[in-house]
Structure 1
């Protein structure tokens, strides 16, 4: 079995599509009106009950999962999104013990979206600071072999 992606059930497909395109810069690969797919494997669907033959209830803000996106220049992204009235922050940039920084926002359906710098970027920054491979492995919990590939 191969995982194919994530489908979010949304009330208003137009608002959700606009948000993912304009705010999160996702590229649409297919727009069927009630279903929109993006190049990253994310899809949006409205009128989902008619597909499964059962009336379903959604709970906005249920906080039962999050979508995870990686960006370069996290500070710039956070500042740009903070200026956008369509964006609601769950929290501002936090740095975690393993050195990665991220922030979380809500989409129009109140799904949590984490926006983070990649671990490759985190490790690259630690390499630039002069930390040894072993010290980076201890802090980031990443395998030494992976860190060594980033040193090359």
Structure 2
């Protein structure tokens, strides 16, 4: 058994492909029309085709349940925030927040209200703390991780 990829259902394939490219830089790897695979391994499936596959009615599908998300990490988080702030129509779950361990994240919806989270790459969090003057030990305490973990991020 091998897990291959997540698949999300979309109501408008072209709009979804454009969103994932414009906002996250994901490109189409394979396009079968009703099913598209993007870089990163995410598959998109049209709602109508999905309904036929699972033999359900339109009323049995709902978007925006807030129960799952697609998670991405970004090395250059500050530039990503600048970029997304310049894109009109982004529907935010929340604007940028910093978690207790120091990682900055932002969450927003795709066109079908699937949650997208973009987090600062954790190695970049370590480097940001060290560059701010914290020692390796202080960074470990700040992030609630071991000193060995902080050191492993620097290798």
Report the RMSD for the aligned CA atoms in angstroms. Answer: 1.8
Q: Which runs of 5+ in 1 are unaligned?
A: none
- The CA deviation at 1:58 is 2.4
Q: Indicate how the Cα distance of structure 1 residues 78 and 129 shifts in structure 2: closer, same or farther if over 3 A, else same.
A: closer
Q: How does 1:1-150 map to 2 (within 5 A)?
A: 1-46=1-46, 47-55=49-57, 57-150=60-153
Q: Which runs of 5+ in 2 are unaligned?
A: none
Note if contact 2:72-2:118 (Cα within 8 Å) is conserved in structure 1: yes
TM-score, normalised with respect to structure 2: 0.87
Note if contact 2:105-2:118 (Cα within 8 Å) is conserved in structure 1: yes
Q: Measure the CA separation in 1 of the matches of 2:131 and 2:117.
A: 25
State the aligned residue count: 152
Deviations 1:63-110 (A, max 9, x none): 111111111322322222222223112222111221111111110001
- Structure 1 runs, 4 residues or longer, greater than 4 Å off: none
